Chain A
């Protein structure tokens, strides 16, 4: 790609609270947005739980950081790929995920969904197009 803009894809594969990976990855994503790169996220395997709706961490004593995913649109990160098979294998559907949206600057700030449902095969193709793929 031209202008020094690279395509970064952050692949999230782990549930949000058992390890630090989800939170650390989210922080790297928010930092990367400051460098005007093309950033997309993937949620697959147990990573789909990161954007599950109605998260409640009261029992674990950990901070519920899931609202921060709703800020991704403000950071111009609006390609959140969710792997269809991963949802199905866990008995989940799009209805179980947070309503993540962004405002399209080129379309009079219309609110549009950021979540894009893709199959495992489509995801492989998308990964192929990236300059950098970082998984956690």
Chain B
């Protein structure tokens, strides 16, 4: 099993870099994963990550990109709820990459 080291702790991840134990998440994990993917985390990234964690808490699923986009538009405004904006933040895909940073499983329907 692969691991990443965050604040001195060994964190287990699967072969695609997703957290094995969703409950083990803390914010520095997102920062470390972003560093590995060469993404610089800013407030805009955290807005989406926090949003995803709330969505998962409520529905127990990682939303598909289309659903995420619509939900972000509703909560954070239209200028953020579009796929261009989300892809700028998370170049490997807001579904896959943002969910990974947020400690969620890969969205259902992503291959």
- By the criterion CB–CB under 8 Å, are B60 and A31 in contact? no
CB contacts (< 8 Å) of A30 on chain B: these are 61, 64, 108-109
- By the criterion CB–CB under 8 Å, are A67 and B64 in contact? no
Within 8 A of A (CB), among B35-68: 58-61, 63-64, 66-67
Query: Whose C-beta in chain A lies nearest to the C-beta of B61?
Result: A68
CB contacts (< 8 Å) of A21 on chain B: these are none
Give Cα A63 to B60, complex, Å: 9
- By the criterion CB–CB under 8 Å, are A67 and B66 in contact? no
Partner of B58, one of A34, A65, A67, A75: A67
* Interface membership of B6, Cβ < 8 A: no
User: Residues of B at under 8 Å CB distance from A?
Assistant: 58-61, 63-64, 66-67, 70-71, 108-109
A67 touching B109 in the complex, CB below 8 Å, given contacts A74-B67, A74-B70: no
Q: Could you name 25 residue pairs across A and B whose Cβ atoms are closer than 8 Å?
A: A27-B108, A30-B64, A30-B108, A31-B108, A31-B109, A33-B64, A33-B109, A34-B66, A64-B60, A65-B60, A67-B58, A67-B60, A68-B60, A68-B61, A70-B58, A70-B59, A71-B59, A71-B61, A71-B63, A71-B67, A74-B63, A74-B67, A74-B71, A75-B64, A75-B67
Give Cα A66 to B58, complex, Å: 10
Query: Whose C-beta in chain B lies nearest to the C-beta of A31?
Result: B109
